[in-house]
């Protein structure tokens, strides 16, 4: 006799129930594991509904950051909360947040592979499907005039960025923006993957990049999916891995 009971429909894995400070701490830890690991360098700002910004402190590496270490600054970059000092280089973020309404999260660091391409003043070709997941524009800030804690240098980066969401700061590092933590992480992870894969392929002395039209079409499809939240599981899966390894990240 055939059973009339239908099998249970598959469902999405439960979403993370975490605070904004926990989100930022997890993002820093995740990105450190992805190669955003230049000692104490780098800063992340996360716009809050009240117009303030959560920011990582200056003297903690990204792989040791916990939610309780996360500071808060006002729209001018003045620290208003947090046990540890923030970096004066957040001037870049202040200027960028002023000029880009869609910059809910700004990431700057000197990631292992992205910085190689920034140092070479080149944008890496797309050689594989994962590298094509971000099909948006990558801008190049073609001049290094010194640290971005100076407003004039920060403005130069913002001008070079234009309407792009990713920039290579030559002889310096990488800049990523996103509307929220999930989108910013997705872009940061894909760009670093692309940089790593392209370096390895070109180290072979040969390689065939993906067709530009395919990259743009595929990237546009993924961008719509990311905007609708269909790729939030990227961040969630990486965050669960961090929590399993060190639950104190949430403290």
What domains are there in the chain, each with its CATH number? 20-122+137-179+232-246 (3.40.225.10)
pLDDT digits (tens, 9 = 90+) for 112-131: 999 999 999 999 999 999 99
pLDDT at res. 142 = 75
Q: pTM of the prediction?
A: 0.91
Quickly state the pLDDT bin for 148 (edges 50, 70, 90).
low
Quickly state the pLDDT bin for 229 (edges 50, 70, 90).
confident
**Tally of CB atoms within 10 A around 39:** 8
Integer distance in angstroms from the first to the last C-alpha of the chain? 55
Of the CA atoms within 13 Å of residue 166, those in its CB half-sphere come to 22
Work out the percent of the chain whose per-residue pLDDT is above 70: 94
Q: Return d(Cα 239, Cα 173) in angstroms, integer.
A: 24
pLDDT at res. 106 = 96
């Amino acid at each position: 006799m055939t059973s009339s009971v239908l099998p249970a429909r598959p469902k999405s894995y439960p979403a993370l129930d975490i605070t904004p400070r926990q989100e930022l701490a997890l993002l820093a830890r995740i990105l450190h594991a992805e190669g955003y690991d230049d000692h104490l360098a780098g800063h992340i700002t996360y716009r809050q509904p009240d117009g303030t910004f959560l920011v990582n402190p200056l003297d903690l590496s990204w792989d040791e950051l916990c939610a309780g270490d996360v500071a808060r600054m006002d729209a001018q970059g003045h620290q208003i909360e947090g046990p540890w000092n923030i970096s004066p280089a957040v001037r870049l973020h202040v200027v960028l947040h002023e000029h880009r309404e869609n910059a809910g999260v700004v990431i700057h660091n000197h990631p292992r592979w992205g910085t190689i391409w920034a140092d070479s003043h080149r944008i890496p070709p797309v050689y594989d499907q994962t590298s094509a997941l971000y099909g948006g524009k990558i801008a190049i800030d073609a001049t290094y005039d010194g640290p971005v804690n100076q407003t004039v240098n920060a403005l130069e980066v913002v001008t070079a960025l234009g309407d792009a969401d990713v920039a290579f700061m030559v002889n310096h590092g990488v800049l990523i923006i996103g509307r929220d933590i999930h989108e910013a992480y997705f872009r940061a992870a894909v760009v670093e993957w692309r940089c790593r894969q392209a370096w390895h392929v070109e180290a072979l002395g040969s390689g065939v990049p993906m067709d530009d039209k395919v990259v743009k079409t595929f990237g546009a499809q993924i961008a719509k999916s990311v905007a609708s939240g269909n790729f939030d599981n990227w961040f969630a899966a990486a965050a669960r891995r961090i929590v399993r390894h060190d639950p104190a990240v949430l403290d």
